Structure formats: structure tokens, C-alpha cells
Amino acid sequence: MRAWEELQKLVGYRFREESLLQQALTHRSAGVQHNERLEFLGDAALNFVVAAKLYAHFPKVSEGDLSRMRARLVREETLAEIAGKVALADFLILGPGEMRSGGARRDSIRADALEAVIGAAFLDGGFAAAERIVTQLVEPLMTEHLGGAELRDPKTRLQEYLQGRGRSLPVYTLVAEKGPAHERHFVARCSVPGASPTEAEDASRRKAEQQAAAQMLEQLQVVPHV
């Protein structure tokens, strides 16, 4: 009983129905009442709460960067890290096969269980309960995991990436201007040796170049921030 109390203290929420918490920690290898449906619910709640908190914390960050920041926070590796901080593996209920193979140490199982705990809290105490757990466990990582790189604009990130590898810097070209003077749109191209050029269109030439740079970053798979 004391161990259950400690876990609930660590996750920031006390369950009224501890059977829900038990189900959240039960892997499908251990029985019929496992945590997969709770994981589905928790994943949705987690994504929404994280999105709302990022929106509030970073009012000047673009939609694309907010999406990348959220992806970094809700990815399997980050959730498994959080699960490790609250020793979630010590409470997992696994079938004999998973126990023998060290399933409690697998990132996927720990991350899924954490999402299931959030889903269980939602059923036990409503949205506020799920939000409380996310606030306790995930919100602190918004500064710990989201360093300056995530907040720098795509052109700067692309330049730093190429410089760090001794590659030629990108060249930005204005490909076209569209529309009347009061509704001008600009098409900008970003060119990097060894990569296919990327193009983007926007009412601002600067923003078009930023978008083209973001596309180039994706092409070069520079999204370990994600």
C-alpha cells in the first residue's frame, strides 16, 4: 500500500479508484484487463495538454516549431525517461515472458504505461486529473528539453547545421513575385549543394525563405529536435 501511495505522490494525482491505476500498469502479456485502451485515451489527453501549455509558454513561436516541440516532448524516448524518474518500471504488471525478457526496461512498455496512467486519471477524475499529471511530469521538461535550438528560426538552424559539417551555406533566390502590389506574394528557393532545392510561397519574402529553409531541414532530416 505504501508503494502505491508513493507512486501516486510522484505522478501528482491520487486515484479514487486504484483499480484504474492497476489496469494502467498492466501489460497485455499479463491478462485481459490490460492498459492498451487507457494508453489510447492518455495519448490524446497528453498531446492536447502539451499543445496547450506550449501555446501559452511560447507566444511568439510558429505553428511548425510548436509542432516539433510537442513531438519532442511526447515521443517514446522522453516518456520513457519520465517513467524512469518516477520508477514506473517497479510497478509494472507483466506476464512471465515479458518479465524474463526484461520488458520493464523497454522504452516502449514504460512509455505506453505512462500514457495509460494519464488515461486512467482522466477516467478517474476528469480532464483536470489528466492535466495535473502532465503538469507534474512533463511541463518541467519544456525548459529542460527545449533548448535554444528549437526556438531559433529555420534559416539560422540550417546555417548552423551546414557550418557544423563543413558544408557550403544555403543560397536563397527569389523565384517569382505574384499578384498586384497590395497583395504581393513571393516565391523563394533554398539551394544547398547535394540536395534538391526547396521552394515556398508567402506574402513576406522573409517568411517564404524561412519556410523554404524549414523544408530543406526536413529533407536533410535535421529533426532530432523532434
Please pick, among 65, 115, 124, 131, the residue that the annotation labels catalytic.
115
Please tell me the number of Cα atoms within 13 Å of 206 on its side-chain side. 2
Return phi, psi of residue 25, to 5°: -95, 5
* DSSP symbols for 115-173: HHHHHHHHHHH-HHHHHHHHHHHTTTHHHHT--HHHHS-HHHHHHHHHHHTTPPPPEEE
Q: What is the DSSP letter of 60?
A: T
Please pick, among 43, 65, 98, 112, the residue that the annotation labels catalytic.
43
Handedness of CA 106, 109, 112, 117 (dihedral sign): negative
43 is catalytic: yes
115 is catalytic: yes
Catalytic center residues: 43, 115
